[in-house]
A and B are shown apart, each in its own frame.
Chain A
Amino acid sequence: MSTTADLHIHNPVEDVLRKERIPTIWCPGCGIGTTVNSFAAALLGQDIDLKKTAIVSGIGCSGRVSGYMALDSFHTTHGRAIPFATGLKLANPELNVIVYSGDGDLTSIGGNHLIHAARRNMDIMVVCVNNMIYAMTGGQAAATTPGNSITTTSPFGSFEPEICLPQLVDAAGAVFVARWTAYHVKQLERTMAKALKKKGFRFIEVLTPCPTLYQRRNNMGDGLAAMVDYKNRSKIRNGAPTYEVALEPGGEIVVGEFVDREREDYLTRMRRQLGTNYSELPPQPEEEEQEGCCSSC
């Protein structure tokens, strides 16, 4: 007779998950968990000190990822995961800091922080789960929503074109830029593993299905249908110029690692400019104040 204990199968990635928090809040067919599986495998496949690894999310369905990882987990405010992560990194440069959040969070309300963290080349890795919708709030149009999509706030089809994230962060100065879909689990894992080892601002966009709030309203079927769609439409073009990777409704989905370059990150540059060992600079500032004046002047 087998017992439940005998039946326990060790999930290869469970060591980096907060098992006690599972099941997740995510719907059947949702792509967020798929990306987490790749991420967890990437983390475990590296000689990364998990005790020195922090994960920061904003708010949204994707923003819940930080809370399922057995790392130092920070679930911050909507749009502000990147500046929080910046603070962690600056005050403890030993930390590996990963931001994991949604498209609305990172690129609309948090868009300014995305641009400036890339410009500074802050040494953090950003995973953007792009389900092309504000999911957690019930399916409103986002900056990433394909034009003419039906959403709760665009009942006649959205009137706006979607943003091209790889092009944006490339232009802002990210040193590593990639895009995959939830169909490309192995490629995503490899890219994440590579990005985890790189220094500087790294950005990975992952297209994921939101069957509940995006696909359904736009007659795009379920999570499985999304996988078939990703498989049929995607084309791997590593090194593709990011101005050629914009997503068109129904068009080709260009995936791959687009940018992988070297540029001095913020802290390295700061230390270089301050002199190699800035903590040994003289402790006292120049005294500009006059001394001994009375308090009534």
Chain B
Amino acid sequence: MMHADPNCVLTGTHFMNGDAACCEGAIAAGARFAAGYPITPSTEVVERFAARVPKIGGIFIQMEDELAASITLQGMVWAGAKSFTVTSGPGYSLMMEHIGFAAMTETPCVFVNVQRGGPSTGLPTLPAQGDMMQARFGSHGDYSTISLVPNSPQECFSLTVKAFNLAEKFRVPVMFMMDECVGHMTEKVVIPDAKEIEVTPRRHASKPPSEFLLFEPGEELVPEMAHAGEGYKVYVTGLTHDKRGYPLMNPASQKELIPRLFEKISRAADELTIVESEGLEDADVVVVSYGITSRVAQRAIEMARAKGLKVGKLRLICVWPFPEKLIRELAPKVKALVMPELNMGQVVIELERCAGGQCKVISVPHPGGTVHKPADILAAIERGAQ
């Protein structure tokens, strides 16, 4: 484990918004390169990055569109850098092909999506959580990846660091799923000392070129990586490939590659069960939420408790992979799971599947543009408690 570079980390107590904190998190995690294309409400992340990185040996390039940005960053990674891109709404849709490319080529990188109301141009300046299924399934074909969801500017800092670390550990594109509220909310952000910020280094080739296979599953089923310019003659393709990276298009090679891309994540299910919970032990109803919605849910939970209801809180910090085991264990112990989301009911589908009919699952949908009214979540809690 390495630590952040003290020359680049803004240690101290700040008053900053989520977009700025995300940028600082990326820098603390070691990102010196990024490619982007402007879109509200995410642009502040790269605006700050563009101002910050020339002084620390990095480059931000504004590309001609998101199709370009989402692959330029991967060129940066294969040249040895840590890199990311930032977008919202329509831009995220344009990036989908390259999220699949990153999954297939096991390119460690981070895609930040500051979610806004959709579909289409939707509500450019207002919040939503409507891209949660897209984060999981948006690119064509079958792949598995990781999605983290912060609920405060503080977490926009610390979880961005984590997103980069997980990207390196699993060699996947990590989705960092903010929303307009969290991105534009200004709060206290404490940035620790560089030596307290752990940074996961790249899994770099430990063998010389003559013995090295670029896609040989290594420790934890993750291959080691060599970069362009290091003499390894890497071969990277989005086609189904063998351990050398050479195209090998048949059912057998597909079967060797694709399930491994899933398994390297599924075997780490416990490590990737990242939640914040409270009062689950004796709860009749548990409110399951993520991102900005968890802060409204908190209010509803307090209101319900004031009415004498036994309500627990479960906040999903890592939404994908979904904390399946936790929900399977929880469902038989409660009367109901209540899930408010700023969408018409996305992650609740997964919640319902994992609850397996063991308790009621109550969705509290919202089309976005603002956050829920606590009273609406309270009403769902009361229904669940009956």
Contacts and interface: CB of A to CB of B under 8 A. Distances in A.
Interface of A: 18, 21, 51-52, 54, 56, 67, 70-77, 79-80, 82-92, 94-95, 112-113, 115-116, 270, 274, 278-279, 281-285, 289-295, 297
Given A74-B78, A88-B78, A21 B59 contact: no
Contact of B188 (A112, A113, A279, A293): A293
Interface in B15-36: 15-16, 20, 33, 35
A71 B55 contact: no
Given A75-B238, A90-B61, A91-B33, A83 B68 contact: yes
Interface stretch (B126-134, B176-184, B226-234): B226-234
Contact of A112 (B59, B65, B74, B227): B65
B56 A283 contact: yes
Contacts of B7: 283
A282 B79 contact: no
A87 B15 contact: no
19 contacts: A52-B229, A74-B234, A77-B98, A83-B35, A83-B72, A86-B75, A87-B75, A87-B83, A90-B79, A91-B33, A113-B67, A115-B64, A116-B64, A116-B68, A278-B54, A290-B15, A291-B13, A293-B15, A295-B188
Contact of B75 (A71, A84, A282): A84
Greatest chain B CB density within 10 A among A18, A92, A270 is at: A92
A289 B233 contact: no
Contacts of B83: 87, 91
A86 B61 contact: yes
A76 B101 contact: yes
B90 interface: no
A87 B58 CA distance: 12
A253 B69 CA distance: 36
B310 to A, nearest CB: 27
Size bracket of the B interface: 35 or more
A72 B209 CA distance: 12
Given A74-B228, A95-B79, 13 more contacts: A51-B229, A75-B238, A83-B67, A83-B69, A86-B68, A87-B83, A88-B76, A91-B59, A92-B81, A94-B229, A113-B67, A278-B57, A289-B15
A92 B56 contact: no
A75 B63 contact: no
Given A87-B35, A87-B83, A289-B15, A294 B188 contact: yes
A284 B14 CA distance: 14
Interface in B174-220: 186-188
A54 B232 CA distance: 11
A168 to B, nearest CB: 15
Contacts of A51: 229-231
Contacts of A95: 79, 228-229
Contacts of B20: 289
Interface of B: 7-8, 10, 12-16, 20, 33, 35, 51-52, 54-57, 59, 61, 63-65, 67-69, 71-81, 83, 97-98, 101, 154, 186-188, 227-239, 246-247
Greatest chain B CB density within 10 A among A89, A91, A95, A295 is at: A91
Contact of A92 (B14, B79, B187, B231): B79
A279 B35 CA distance: 19
A285 B52 contact: yes
Contacts of B69: 83
Given A76-B238, A80-B67, A86-B61, A54 B228 contact: yes
A212 B234 CA distance: 31
A76 B8 contact: no
A88 B79 contact: yes
A294 B253 CA distance: 56
A274 B68 contact: no
Nearest to A295: B188
Contacts of A82: 68
A71 B71 CA distance: 20
A72 B59 CA distance: 22
Contacts of B97: 77
Contacts of A294: 188
B54 A291 contact: no
